[in-house]
Amino acid sequence: MEQYAICGGNPLVGEVEIGGAKNAALPILAASLMTDETVLIENMPDVRDTNILLQAMEAIGARVQRENRHAVKINGSLIHDLTVEGDAVKKIRASYYFLGALLGKYKKATVVLPGGCDIGCRAIDQHIKGFKALGASVEIAHGMITAEAPRLRGAHIYLDVASVGATINLMMAASMAEGRTTIENAAKEPHVVDLANFLNRLGANIKGAGTDVIRIQGVERLHGAEYVIIPDQIEAGTFMFAAAATRGDVTVKNVIPKHLESITSKLLEIGCEVSEFDDAVRVVASRPLGHTQVKTLYYPGFPTDMQPQIVVTLGLSRGTSIVTESIFENRFRYVDELIRMGANIKVEGNTAIIGGVPKYTGASINAPDLRAGAALVIAALAAEGMSTVDDIRYIERGYEDFHLKLQKLGAQIDKVESERELQKFKLKIG
Ligand code: EPZ
């Protein structure tokens, strides 16, 4: 059983390189099947979710050729199966991107219904509504969802919620539908824009991505291209809050500072110094930090994927802070673990009321999901004494070399696989 062993108390200091955005890579990989020509994708994060998706693509006949750890060539000309299934792919949310991609290209797709992090009810009604508007029939049976259409026709689609997944799925399908599609109340997240840019590079005609209204003129076929995925906004934000929580000084490199504005502004508000460069940000936390209020919102608001990281940091800041989760209804499950480390947090409905404490203390804790897992690692790095974090497979879904990057910043963290390795770690830290 793999776990992180962590000895906390050291400020994180130094530089860290951010990888490609997981949540952009996943739809871009699926969309690369929409052309019969070869696509080269660079700045691909080497994380569990992208690797599972690549395996699923190979299973239906795509040729996947690794150029190096972060570059992959994909050719979707020999796809022989429009059914995507299997235990691994069932566990990741992004498997539903095969629906939009294959429906667009082949007018049919069957995909095992998605799982993903357990952070609340994750409806797909808006995806289904959109596919139907494009002329597809959609059926759910035996844990699989099938979308099928003799012809896809452009349509006017209003999303009841600005869902990232639905916007992405509909953008893919509509790219190869006949005529014009308008998606209103579209999601505006950077990874939505990245997918639109990628599809346009393949020859699609998508305008307005990054605004509420996306207009797509369908095309008959897409062609090959080379594409570099944007940096991961959430990985960057995680290291920025790790710097704050450990009272460190970290320069986060290879980022787009504009994507980090909501994160930067909260760090400034609580008393960190943040300097922005062309493709880097430096976070210095040299003074005691203060309290704030924050509500998670769609982009450009404060991301739900950064909610646990800010809670962990505010738990160590002076005064009372309030954090409201407005996107997912079950994203405070990690708070119980944090309380075991000495945090003073009360959750009422979708709000956490956080009374700052001077320190956390190390404990044996479980990562309940990807972002909460990363946040608990931050808590352990800031805590006095030794912690272990279990269920790190969740963290590895979305963070590449998390413990190695933290080690480079001076963290005492190791991945251990046995009691013996844990004892070795304890001896090493003394
Ligand atoms: C994406 O999930 C991300 N996942 C999530 O990141 C992220 O938390 C989320 O967007 C919000 O930013 C991927 O990109 C793979 P949504 P997604 O559809 O697409 C409701 C991480 O940690 N909704 O925008 O599933 C839904 O219930 C992960 O990297 C409907 O009601 O999110 C939720 O309340 C976790 N009907 C809200 O919208 C629908 O048809 C946002 O969901 C679809 C969604």
Query: Residues lining ligand 1, judged by CB closer than 6 Å?
Result: 23, 26, 93-94, 117, 121-127, 161, 163-166, 187, 304-305, 327-328, 370-371, 398
Helices in 211-331 by DSSP H: which ranges? 233-245, 261-269, 307-314
Identify the H or E element spanning 271: none
For residue 150, cis peptide bond before it (omega within 30 degrees of 0) = no
| Nearest Cα residue to atom 3 of ligand 1 | 23
pLDDT, one tens digit for every residue, the chain (430 residues): 799 999 999 999 999 999 999 999 999 999 999 999 999 999 999 999 999 999 999 999 999 999 999 999 999 999 999 999 988 888 888 999 999 999 999 999 999 987 655 666 678 999 999 999 999 999 999 989 999 999 999 999 999 999 999 999 999 999 999 999 999 999 999 999 999 999 999 999 999 999 999 999 999 999 999 999 999 999 999 999 999 999 999 999 999 999 999 999 999 999 999 999 999 999 999 999 999 999 999 999 999 999 999 999 999 999 999 999 999 988 999 999 999 999 999 999 999 999 999 999 999 999 999 999 999 999 999 999 999 999 999 999 999 999 999 999 999 999 999 999 999 999 998 8
Dihedral pair phi/psi, residue 80, rounded to 5°: -115, 0
**Ligand 1 mutation pick, 50, 98, 122, 330, max ligand atoms within 8 A of CB:** 122
**Beta strands of 108-264 (E only): which ranges?**
108-112, 137-141, 144-148, 156-158, 180-184, 205-207, 214-217, 225-228, 249-253
The rounded Å distance from CA 123 to ligand 1 centre is: 9
Q: Which residues contact 396 (CB under 8 A, 6 or more apart)?
A: 47, 48, 402
pLDDT (tens digit per residue) in 69-90: 999 999 999 999 999 998 888 8
- C-alpha dihedral over 53, 57, 58, 61, to 10 degrees? 170
Q: Are 372 and 308 in contact (CB under 8 A)?
A: yes
Atom of ligand 1 nearest to the CA of 26: 15
- C-alpha dihedral over 188, 192, 193, 194, to 10 degrees? 150
CB atoms within 10 A of CB 322: 14
Identify the H or E element spanning 408: helix 402-408
Long-range contacts of 76-81 (CB under 8 A, 24+ apart): 76/32, 76/33, 76/34, 76/35, 76/36, 76/105, 77/36, 77/37, 79/33, 79/106
pTM of the model as a whole:
0.97
Sign of CA dihedral 410, 415, 419, 424: negative
Q: Which residues contact 405 (CB under 8 A, 6 or more apart)?
A: 16, 17, 239
| Nearest Cα residue to atom 21 of ligand 1 | 305
Atom of ligand 1 nearest to the CA of 161: 38
The rounded Å distance from CA 218 to ligand 1 centre is: 25
Helices in 32-144 by DSSP H: which ranges? 48-59, 87-90, 97-106, 125-133
Is 117 one of the annotated active-site residues of the chain? yes
338-366 in b/e burial notation, b at 16+ Cβ within 10 A? bbebbbebebeebbbebbbbeebebbebb
Which of 316, 304, 306 lies closest to 342 in space, CA to CA? 316
pLDDT (tens digit per residue) in 222-273: 999 999 999 999 999 999 999 999 999 999 999 999 999 999 999 999 999 9
The rounded Å distance from CA 328 to ligand 1 centre is: 8
Sign of CA dihedral 133, 139, 145, 149: negative
The rounded Å distance from CA 86 to ligand 1 centre is: 22
Q: What 3-state DSSP class applies to 393?
A: helix
By CB atoms closer than 10 A (0-12, 13-18, 19+), residue 171 is buried
The rounded Å distance from CA 305 to ligand 1 centre is: 10
Which of 169, 167, 168, 133 lies closest to 152 in space, CA to CA? 133
Atom of ligand 1 nearest to the CA of 92: 15
By CB atoms closer than 10 A (0-12, 13-18, 19+), residue 151 is exposed
Dihedral pair phi/psi, residue 410, rounded to 5°: 100, 5
